[in-house]
Structure 1
Amino acid sequence: MLTVFFVPLIIINIGVISSPWLLFLLYIMSGLGMAGIGMGIMHDAIHGSYSNKRHINTLLGYTFNLIGANAIVWKIQHNILHHTYTNIEHADDDINAPFFLRFSPHAKKYWSHQYQHLYIWFFYSLATISWVTTKDFVRLNRYHKMGFLDQKNEFRNALMSMIGWKLLYYSYALIIPLIVVPLPWWLILLAFLSMHFVTGLLISIVFQVAHIMPSAEFPLPDKNGLIAGDWYTHQFATTSNYSPSSRLFTWLIGGLNFQIEHHLLPGVCHVHYKELSKIVIQTAEEYGMPYHSNKTFFSAIWAHGKMLRQIGNMPQIPIIN
């Protein structure tokens, strides 16, 4: 995946590309590698499950920074908020969406939401370009106000590090190509954006179809701030698998089709999920737990679209404090 990402960019940065079609092809190939790095390398590494050696996980976690995002922000957003508070309104940052998108029946409803199942795919394609430009900065500041990064100079150091990594990314992904490639600047910018359109759409769909599904629950805490049941029950109720029989697909997306196993055992590397799923299924049956799984990726996408339409049309279920 690192090769698929970097080799096309190296070819572009040499400055020998004069064909617009080849430029777009190389950027799109790099986008596929970018998605592969996000799903197959950094995801395990930042969870601490790529290796049993901490320094290797830390090193490979920096691959997320190399593709323009930020490992510190992701660790808070994903490892802490999403994995701890899956599908809980105002707590799981993966379902905290801008006003024109609605991922939870407890979120405020606007008239445009009835059409979100049609236009959401465009906004999914903007996900990574949003990450590498504004979203990381917004979230870093918000997480600091929430009480994260509260050690002396921790927020400042994280911000300076983020700026440095993003400057490095933009240098080899866009600025140098703008200088050396003998094509109009707007064409190069459009090709760069096409890379992110591919990456954003792939990553958004892969992650979202695991939780925004007809089978998923969106539990709320009681007046004491407690969620009914235990944490494992919560993960079974809010998570869904898809395409579990395809080894190639499992490899391509870093085992993220086995989301139930990942949420139950986030410290285990994804290469073990397929075998672990047999044990998890047996255990779920033994204790009467739901085990939601779609046979194919496309059936999961279809169900996700139906759920988006359903959420977009249902009235808001109020949060009772």
Structure 2
Amino acid sequence: MKAPNGLAHPGVPLECASSESGLALIPLKELRKACTHNKAWVSIGGTVYDLTKFIHQHPGGQDFILLAAGKDVTKIFEAYHGQKQHHNLQIFRMGLLAGQDVPSFPPPDNFSLTLKRRVNDHFRLLKADPKQSPGTRRRYFLTALGIWILYGLQWLLPLNSFWVFYLVSVAHGTALSQYCLTAVHDGSHGAIGRNPVLWKLLLMGHDFFVGTSSTLWTYQHVMSHHIFTNVDGFDADIETSEVEFRRIKESQKYFCFYQLQSIYSPLLYVLLGCTVRIEDLLYYFTSRRGPLKVNPFTFQQNIIFWGGKLFFLMTRIFLPLFWGVPLSRVISAFFVADFTLSIILALIFQATHVVDIAAFPQVNSKTGNIDVDWARLQVETAQDYGHDQPLTTFFSGSLNYQVVHHLFPYVAQEHLPAVAKIVRQTAKEYGVKYEIKDNLWAAIGGHIGLLKLLGTPPHSD
């Protein structure tokens, strides 16, 4: 078997057959096994590429390739790259992928192509880098500084300062949520600057400040949710067990207690942080994140995973006890801050996709693929809210421009409002339904509406 340069590709297994084009047919199982630092293959548009030697040359850093290794990353690649990068990729081509176990999408339609061209033209005419945002960087720093000031202030307050103590704990949890909505989220997408070291440092706050794994969250968010948004069985964000505390999809079995889920579910969202920390251990040891295979952790990823959890426990529990803070006060501060963090994150995340007007695309039962263009899917599976409301944009970490973010995940927060105008106009021209709620409360109302709708007993024929 010959590589594109005419030489035998050393990475092609001997058992691989040949296609009519003369390229090797790479079995799906071989792709799935090539998921380590020593053997990193990816599939893009049905073609398999060996990126092992490119890992350390990748301008976006090695972490993204290590996350993508062994997987079909067609839509992620297309969302972040253009024709130039696709052309440069061809020197790493190995062959064609034989088989699939995840849905594919149809080729980009006119809406998708027009929108991408217009947004690229927008930044080119402005001579602006879509990834640069000095103001956002300052916000990261001030938020992190605020986290540690509030953390220390909790333990310096007199023991009789009951209400002030709890207000500081609430503020601490709010600051943590802001860090997650901005620094962690932007770092996971490389949506700030062009330095992979910066992205990694921002992401590490998820491990060390919050005690939850940034690596596992990036698998869930970037490698699953952003590709298969609201697609049952493939979007880890809407993964459910056989008996779940809430019903958010019609495919879930109905239980009578769901009639009250619009009341109790938001209350249970305060447990998000604790739940994720426990699930981290499950996903780490099973090498699964919902429907997605988790690649073997590198030495550095292991250090961050376990070091983050140890640091979190030391600073939030053991260090205050060492300073002589009463156990009741330590536990109270922990849960008040964590409940605040959790409820803010849960409601903002749920208000963008798990809502009554969002689409939940179905996989074609005959082809195993999705019949909707990927860009259209991103628009129709989300809702925006509070456009041109600076306070809402600030508090939500610009996730009120969720549709825009999904279409252009590499764009820094401060540019999203301008891009939203282009998306809105293009969607109108092509008849794509683009939902924008008036404010955050209306968006949360859409989530409550879905809980009410799916909490209603199904009608039997």
* TM-score normalised over the length of structure 2: 0.64
Q: Does 2:56 correspond to 1:56? A: no
Partner in structure 2 of residue 137 of structure 1: 281
**Which digits, 9 at most, give the CA deviation of each residue in 1:191-244, with x for residues without a partner?**
210111111000000010111112111112112321112111111111100111
Partner in structure 2 of residue 202 of structure 1: 344
Aligned-residue CA RMSD (Å):
2.2
**Larger-Rg structure:** 2
Q: Does 2:389 correspond to 1:255? A: no
* Aligned mates of 1:82, 1:220 — CA distance in 2: 15
Pairing of 1:219-238 with structure 2 (within 5 A): 219-223=361-365, 224-238=367-381
Selected match of 2:430 from 270, 287, 299: 287
* Aligned mates of 1:157, 1:315 — CA distance in 2: 49
- Deviation, 1:32, is 0.7
Q: Does 2:164 correspond to 1:4? A: no
* Aligned mates of 2:172, 2:384 — CA distance in 1: 27
- Deviation, 1:157, is 6.3
Q: Does 2:308 correspond to 1:165? A: yes
Q: Which moved more, 1:54-63 or 1:33-42?
A: 54-63
- Deviation, 1:139, is 2.7
Selected match of 1:113 from 235, 244, 258: 258
* Aligned mates of 2:451, 2:352 — CA distance in 1: 13
Residue 333 of structure 2: SS of its match in structure 1?
helix
- Deviation, 1:305, is 0.7
* Aligned mates of 1:54, 1:273 — CA distance in 2: 21
Gaps of 5+ in 1: 317-321
The answer as to whether partners of 1:243 and 1:294 remain within 8 angstroms in 2 is yes
- Deviation, 1:106, is 1.6
Selected match of 2:385 from 214, 236, 242: 242
* Aligned mates of 1:137, 1:285 — CA distance in 2: 45
The answer as to whether partners of 1:12 and 1:177 remain within 8 angstroms in 2 is no
Pairing of 1:75-154 with structure 2 (within 5 A): 75-97=218-240, 99-132=244-277, 134-144=278-288, 148-151=293-296, 154=297
Residue 384 of structure 2: SS of its match in structure 1?
strand
The answer as to whether partners of 1:210 and 1:239 remain within 8 angstroms in 2 is yes
User: Which residue identity lines up with residue 39 of structure 1 in the other structure?
Assistant: L
* Distance of aligned partners of 1:93 and 1:308 in 2 relative to their CA distance in 1, 3 Å threshold: same
User: Which residue identity lines up with residue 373 of structure 2 in the other structure?
Assistant: D
Partner in structure 1 of residue 22 of structure 2: none
* Aligned mates of 2:235, 2:279 — CA distance in 1: 16
User: Which residue identity lines up with residue 205 of structure 1 in the other structure?
Assistant: L
**Which digits, 9 at most, give the CA deviation of each residue in 1:157-182, with x for residues without a partner?**
64554222111011112221233254
The structure, 1 or 2, with the larger RCO (C-alpha pairs under 8 Å, 6+ apart) is 1
- Deviation, 1:264, is 0.6
* TM-score normalised over the length of structure 1: 0.90
* Aligned mates of 1:32, 1:298 — CA distance in 2: 18
Residue 126 of structure 1: SS of its match in structure 2?
helix
The answer as to whether partners of 1:128 and 1:199 remain within 8 angstroms in 2 is yes
* Distance of aligned partners of 1:56 and 1:182 in 2 relative to their CA distance in 1, 3 Å threshold: closer
* Aligned mates of 2:450, 2:303 — CA distance in 1: 40
Whose strand fraction is larger, Structure 1's or Structure 2's? 2
- Deviation, 1:26, is 2.1
Residue 245 of structure 1: SS of its match in structure 2?
coil
Partner in structure 1 of residue 323 of structure 2: 180
Question: Identity, % of aligned pairs?
Answer: 25
Q: Which moved more, 1:116-125 or 1:55-64?
A: 55-64
* Distance of aligned partners of 1:3 and 1:157 in 2 relative to their CA distance in 1, 3 Å threshold: closer
- Deviation, 1:96, is 1.6
The answer as to whether partners of 1:105 and 1:315 remain within 8 angstroms in 2 is no
* Aligned mates of 1:147, 1:126 — CA distance in 2: 24
